Amino acid sequence: MNVLLIRAAKPLANVLLFLAPLCPLSAQPQPIYTLPELMDSAMRHLPLLLEKEALVQSAEAGIGEARDAFLPQVNVAEGVSLGSANDLAGPFLPVPGAIHPISGSIAGASNYQAVTGNMASLYAQYDLVTFGLKDARVASARAYVSLTRAELEKARYLIKWEIGKLYFNILSRGYQLAVDGEDVRRYEQMYAISKALTGAGVNPGVDSSLARAGLSRTRITYNELAGELRRLQQQLGYLTGIASPGIRMDTSRVGLTSAAGLTGPYPADTLAAGNPLEDYFARQQQQYRAQEALARKSYLPKLILGAGGWARGSAIQYSNVYSSAGEGLGYQRLNYVAGVGITYELFNGVHRRDRLNVLGKQVTAAGYALQQQQLSLHNQQMQADESMRTARANLAELPAQLQAANDAYRQKLAQYRAGIINLVDLVTASFELLQAQTGYIQTLNQWFIASLDKAAATGTLDQFLQTTK
pLDDT tens digit sequence for 281-302: 999 999 999 999 999 998 888 8
| Predicted pLDDT of residue 91 | 61
| Predicted pLDDT of residue 139 | 93
DSSP state of 326: G
* pLDDT over 90 (residue 465): no
The whole-number average pLDDT for the span 330-356 is 87
Farthest CA pair distance, the chain: 139
Give the confidence band of 354 by pLDDT, cuts at 50, 70, 90: very high
pLDDT more than 70, % of the chain: 80
Question: How far is Cα 185 from Cα 219, in angstroms, rounded to an integer?
Answer: 10
Domain edges within the chain: 2-66+139-290+353-466, 73-85+114-129+304-343
* pLDDT over 50 (residue 184): yes
CB 247 within 8 A of CB 233: yes
| Predicted pLDDT of residue 173 | 92
* pLDDT over 80 (residue 141): yes
The whole-number average pLDDT for the span 213-235 is 92
The whole-number average pLDDT for the span 195-208 is 69
* pLDDT over 50 (residue 1): no
* pLDDT over 80 (residue 169): yes
Confidence (pTM): 0.77
CB 35 within 8 A of CB 468: yes
* pLDDT over 60 (residue 11): no
Give the confidence band of 78 by pLDDT, cuts at 50, 70, 90: confident
As a whole number, the mean pLDDT across the chain is 81
* pLDDT over 80 (residue 388): yes
Closest by CA position to 271, among listed 379, 117, 361: 379
**φ, ψ (nearest 5 deg) of residue 294:** -65, -40
Closest by CA position to 54, among listed 178, 134, 193, 151: 151
Q: In sequence order, what DSSP letters do the residues of 255-270 get, joined into one string?
A: SHHHHHTTSSSS-SS-
Q: Look at 101 and 331; give whichever has higher pLDDT.
A: 331
Q: Which residues contact 107 (CB under 8 A, 6 or more apart)?
A: 320
| Predicted pLDDT of residue 405 | 93
Question: How far is Cα 442 from Cα 76, in angstroms, rounded to an integer?
Answer: 76
Query: Which range among 108-112, 268-272, 309-313, 432-436 has the greatest average pLDDT?
Result: 432-436
| Predicted pLDDT of residue 389 | 94
Question: How far is Cα 469 from Cα 254, in angstroms, rounded to an integer?
Answer: 8
Specify whether domain 2-66+139-290+353-466 bears CATH 1.20.1600.10: yes
The whole-number average pLDDT for the span 308-314 is 83
Give the confidence band of 241 by pLDDT, cuts at 50, 70, 90: confident
* pLDDT over 90 (residue 364): yes
The whole-number average pLDDT for the span 340-366 is 90
Query: Which range among 68-72, 337-341, 367-371 has the greatest average pLDDT?
Result: 367-371
Question: How far is Cα 17 from Cα 257, in angstroms, rounded to an integer?
Answer: 14
Closest by CA position to 259, among listed 460, 39, 9, 438: 9
CB 232 within 8 A of CB 38: no
Q: Look at 466 and 31; give whichever has higher pLDDT.
A: 466
Distance, C-alpha 399 to centroid of its chain: 40
Q: pLDDT tens across 423-462, in order?
A: 888 899 999 999 999 999 999 999 999 999 999 999 999 8
Judged by average pLDDT, the poorest of 22-36, 147-161, 373-387, 454-468 is: 22-36
* pLDDT over 80 (residue 253): no
